[in-house]
Chain A
Amino acid sequence: MQENLGYACIAEVPCVVVNVQRGGPSTGLPTSPAQGDLMQARWGTHGDHPIIALYPTSVQEAFELTMVAFNLAEKYRTPVIFLMDEVIGHMREKVVFPREGQIPVLERRKPPKGLDKFQPFAEDDGLVPAMAAFGEGYRYHVTGLHHDPAGYPTLRPDEINRWFERVFAKIEQNLDDILLYREEDLEDAETVILSCGITARAARAAARQAREQGRKVGTLTLQTIWPFPEKVVRDLGSRVRRILVPELNRGQLIREVQRCVRHPEVAIGGINRLDGGVITPAQILEKLEERSWPGNSH
């Protein structure tokens, strides 16, 4: 899978790849939840490349974000990885379907007909090249080798650099469109629980219970995991005192949080579980009460 994801990155093939994660490594835990593939989604294929990865917390979101995933793949000509937790993959929940015509479908940008010379990988009207389908009259070359704007293999550093700059820029310059996240009770929050997938549901339940006990707890749920919402998390780090990152792995998301937060006085802690079970609201509440956490002197 990873080798061909790399192919999709270099040939700029719009596609959506669903990874319903199970506990690993190897055959691991068939079939119990784990969130162990976050970094694999980012770095699994070899070579530097941008990637988009989405992560739903419910069946409804799985439905909605799948549509978003296809639209992002088409709009930016990139593979989009759809990460799910096993429990969400197997879950039955109520889903509200939109009416026909309410589903946003982004059509791929095509080159105008009748061009003398079609440059399939050129920066023409934007960073994302128009894409002709085979059989429509533009005969061109698609390869997994680095290529020039005409699509032919190249070893020229200037052409390779230009390609890298373009494919990273097409994602990095459109973060407002790509980054999806949900903030809850962050206005006055001193503690934020940052999570994704099934863990976010426990986080939200725990945060509500903590609020009832008078603690200023909010949540940040990431629906776009990659690119990582660096600025959102950095800004959060300048407002809050504590960030708790529960996740079903040994600490993948927390590394990103630690990387982004620039204030050393902000306490960043994790809850980790790898045994096939999920993290419960009670576990999160317990962690919030833990004496060793800063601010828990009472």
Chain B
Amino acid sequence: MARKLPLIHRYLRKDKKFPTVWCPGCGIGVVLGSLIRAVHNAGIPKDDVVLVSGIGCTGRMPVYVDFNTLHTTHGRALTFASGVRLANPKLKVITVMGDGDAIAIGGNHFIHACRRNIEITAIVVNNFIYGMTGGQFSPTTPTGDISATSPYGNLAQSVDICELARDCGASYVARSTIYHVNEMEKQIARAVTTSGFSVVEVLSTCYSRYGKLNQKGSPREMFRALKDQTVPIAKADGDERINRGVFIDRAEAAYSDTYQAIMAKAREHDAGEPLPLLKPARTGGTP
């Protein structure tokens, strides 16, 4: 770890921004470290990286890091990110979202970003709870678990983010945890260099708002539990535990490339005849 600290520091903003908002025992900083190393190892210049977030604890991640950073409204990180990517396809657009941000209020955008398969990397830090807003249950809170808004146990079933992403058409879908740092780093590195929409779900911990209420032990024990409660896909046969690893990895035709091509075609026609599809359905009709 000591060896790697100087690298991270080269990517952190020096002015005014520390300490972080994150509680002791939080896993988000581990994800930020992996993200920085993955981007560094992929050789992407800082100027080309746009880090977009919504609202929540994970939403505060961009401000600390020396990329182009955009902290938006709750659930809308992917919409802003889509705009950035379509405006400038040279940029490497990465969104960081929590489970509540990405899958509850932003669930609709998540589905359609997968469906469009637009070249954005979505890192979803899943700590099973709305942390910043006071510990309300999220779409990934396990059934029966205690939260500020489910004091007698969460009624609903939880959603599997990776299954959702794969079924909706994302190009790359993987899951890791903050315990499995090297695995997470490799997944993020692959995600940011693949074409199409890529999703890396990182299981994380929220000691303050979730762990304490559900007797999950110390932060250290919560980190450890992520090791014990997950299993690599390759060894998962018959195993009930949460699967880790790469669920899908297929390079797909790039959405924003197609978009650029359509724009170029439309511009060609600009001076002359309108595109056939853009002709009015009726001409000289009713006043």
Contacts and interface: CB of A to CB of B under 8 A. Distances in A.
Interface stretch (B69-77, B161-169, B201-209, B214-222): B69-77
A115 interface: no
B103 interface: no
A155 interface: no
Identify which of A3, A134, A135 gathers the most chain B CB atoms within 10 Å of its CB.
A134
Contacts of B76: 4
Contacts of B88: 133-135
Interface residues of A, number: 20
A137 interface: yes
B4 interface: no
Q: How extensive is the interface on chain B, given as a class?
A: 20 to 34
A141 interface: yes
Interface in B73-90: 73-74, 76, 84, 88, 90
Interface of B: 15-17, 46-48, 50, 62-63, 66-74, 76, 84, 88, 90-91, 287
A27 B62 CA distance: 39
Interface in A81-103: 92
Given A135-B48, A135-B50, A143-B71, 17 more contacts: A4-B76, A134-B70, A134-B84, A134-B91, A135-B47, A135-B90, A139-B66, A139-B69, A141-B63, A141-B71, A142-B69, A144-B71, A144-B72, A144-B73, A145-B71, A152-B15, A153-B63
B286 to A, nearest CB: 8
A179 B33 CA distance: 51
Given A3-B73, A134-B68, A134-B88, A150 B16 contact: yes
A7 B72 CA distance: 8
Nearest to A143: B71
Nearest to A153: B63
B70 A142 contact: yes
A4 B16 CA distance: 27
